[in-house]
């Protein structure tokens, strides 16, 4: 089958989730953050994802913005930082995350080739709208799909079905791209063709399915999607 639709996870895939902590750490008066921002960013992201899985297992769904705040609160406490102003600054920066440098040109290339493009994310609609707008990539996307419409986080199959329902295509017409190995693996199991953007060079997750492609950044996506 020919790829007709390219779907992207948002956070960590199109948008740099470390940018909020990195930018805050560079601001005057943030010396306490400057020395530890990489660890704080890592802890923040890890807890944010863990809370999605735990909430899904418990059947206690809430929106991703709440979990983003909960993950940050855990990370700040673990770092010994109790600073309400810093917390608010980090959250404000998270709503305006930077896209990775190759993203605009990559998406523009896909659109020039006539492919449908969209985001499929755990993020809540308002979070995603803000990130897309601040990154200036809205013109390259046909839609932004949020798990909030089904009330459960990835990797539940109901999330991946949002794509086939929205674009009216079978799963193997879709190239799904994620920076999370478990997300790409679950999407492979659903029937999508998949690419894992493994920027950190992590080992492959031991799961029932595997990504079809493993990349170091998003630049090769247009060639992978080529008929």
Task: State the catalytic residues.
Answer: 9
Instruction: Count the Cβ atoms, other than its own, within 10 Å of residue 35.
Output: 11
Of the candidates 93, 100, 104, the residue with the CA atom closest to the CA atom of residue 197: 100
For residue 201, the SS3 value is coil
Q: Which two tokens stand for residue 87?
A: 């917390």
What contacts 57, CB < 8 A, 6 or more positions away? none
Answer positive or negative: Cα dihedral of 95, 100, 197, 143: positive
64-78 helix and 84-94 helix, angle to the nearest 10 degrees: 140
d(CA 200, CA 61): 29
Distance, in Å, from the CA atom of 145 to the CA atom of 209, rounded to the nearest integer, reads 23
Residues 113 and 43: their CA atoms lie apart, in Å, by 39
First vs last Cα of the chain: how many Å apart? 9
Q: Is 34 helix (H, G, I), strand (E, B) or coil?
A: helix
């Amino acid at each position: 089958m020919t790829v007709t639709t390219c779907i992207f996870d948002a956070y960590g895939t199109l948008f740099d989730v470390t940018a909020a902590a990195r930018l805050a750490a560079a601001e005057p008066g943030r010396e306490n953050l400057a020395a530890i921002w990489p660890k704080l960013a890592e802890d923040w992201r890890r807890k944010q994802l863990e809370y999605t899985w735990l909430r899904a297992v418990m059947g206690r769904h809430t929106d991703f913005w709440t979990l983003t705040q909960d993950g940050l609160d855990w990370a700040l406490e673990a770092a010994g930082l109790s600073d309400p102003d810093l917390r608010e600054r980090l959250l404000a920066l998270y709503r305006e995350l930077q896209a990775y440098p190759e993203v605009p040109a990559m998406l523009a290339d896909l659109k020039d080739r006539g492919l449908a493009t969209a985001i499929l994310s755990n993020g809540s609609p308002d979070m995603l709208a803000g990130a897309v707008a601040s990154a200036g990539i809205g013109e390259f996307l046909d839609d932004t799909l949020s798990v909030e419409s089904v009330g459960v986080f990835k990797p539940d199959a109901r999330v991946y079905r949002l794509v086939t329902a929205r674009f009216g295509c079978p799963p193997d017409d879709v190239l799904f791209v994620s920076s999370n190995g478990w997300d790409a693996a679950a999407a492979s199991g659903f029937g999508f063709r998949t690419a894992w953007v493994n920027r950190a060079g992590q080992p492959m997750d031991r799961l029932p399915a595997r990504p079809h492609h493993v990349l170091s950044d998003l630049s090769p996506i247009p060639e992978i999607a080529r008929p």
